[in-house]
Amino acid sequence: MVGATRTVAVYSLGGTIAMTADPVTGGVVPALSAHDLLAAIPGLDERGIELRVRDFRRVPGASLTFDDLTELGGAIDKTLDGGDADGIVITQGTDTIEETAFFLDLRHGHDQPVVVTGAMRNPTMAGPDGPANLYAAVIAAADPRLRGAGALVVLNDEVHAARHVRKAHTTSPAAFTSPGAGPIGRVTEDLVRLVSPPPRRLGVLKPPSREVRVGLYTVSLGDDGTLLAMWDGRCDGLVVAAFGVGHVPQRLVETLEHLASRIPVVLASRIGNGPVLTGTYGFPGSEKDLIGRGLIPASDLGPYQARLLLHALLAQESDRKTIVETFTALSN
């Protein structure tokens, strides 16, 4: 591109943003390439940004795997190690955007931002939001104000940090929020306008050296612990999405204590907004009681992010002391 001043590498993974109607089933499926997506955006070629495009996957967001994201992280590192881009944009299905962003943020050791985006309305619908979201994501990825911010999510002209972002609605174009923190910025008139600094990031984790399985168990009213006990011997680590600030029914306490003596068990809240406490309530099944029995508090990480962090730590063969220290650092 003549006159280009910034370079952004775009990796397409598929998802709603890349879907068109299947003539056989009548439903929409991933079919559009990254070039197709970019061609649908008016005015982007006038922004002085050179785009380097790669079709990396073409799958629904729900079908992405750890292997897919590990390979994607390696491809991003290779691009950035070569000094070939000022930022990265990833397009994918919104089902797993918050998890992709956090997964990549844990392993991203470069200053250039990694911006994940997608669409809530597919291209066959009236008012598809994919072109606007991709436009804003490219603008954000090219903006030097986001250097050092790690992985971000950009939709609906809002910039969210990977640590806090959640998908909070099944269909709304404004589905992505950052409970308790809010977006760190907005894209307005082709500029990123920061409203708060990005949160402090964890240290960059090493690539996985072994395969692990980390479970996620959500506590619910009337839970008798039978299904919880079935995790014993079937996972390398477990995240418990507990009530409120970190509470479970008393009948689950012995099972959790047994599990925590065998594997790391992280205590998160199923609320998804606010921290797990560590020393307020003292009844059997309270957060203080469970931590005393060996559970590891997740601070303000939601259960999905807590699972990804525990998975990453176990996959690089971290010992219990390192795992406890890493989760404890989230509160500092």
Catalytic residue numbers read 16
- Token pair listed for 265: 């068990």
Q: What is the number of other CB atoms lying within 10 angstroms of the CB of residue 161? A: 25
Q: Cα–Cα distances in Å, from 98 out to 24, 26, 38, 282?
A: 32, 28, 22, 33
Cβ atoms within 10 Å, residue 323: 18
Contact yes or no for 308/100 (Cβ under 8 A): no
Measured CA to CA, the distance from residue 119 to residue 156 in angstroms comes to 9
Angle at 324 between CA 330 and CA 326, to 5 degrees: 40
Query: Is 166 in contact with 98 (CB distance < 8 Å)?
Result: yes
Crossing angle of helices 97-107/303-315, nearest 10°?
Answer: 40
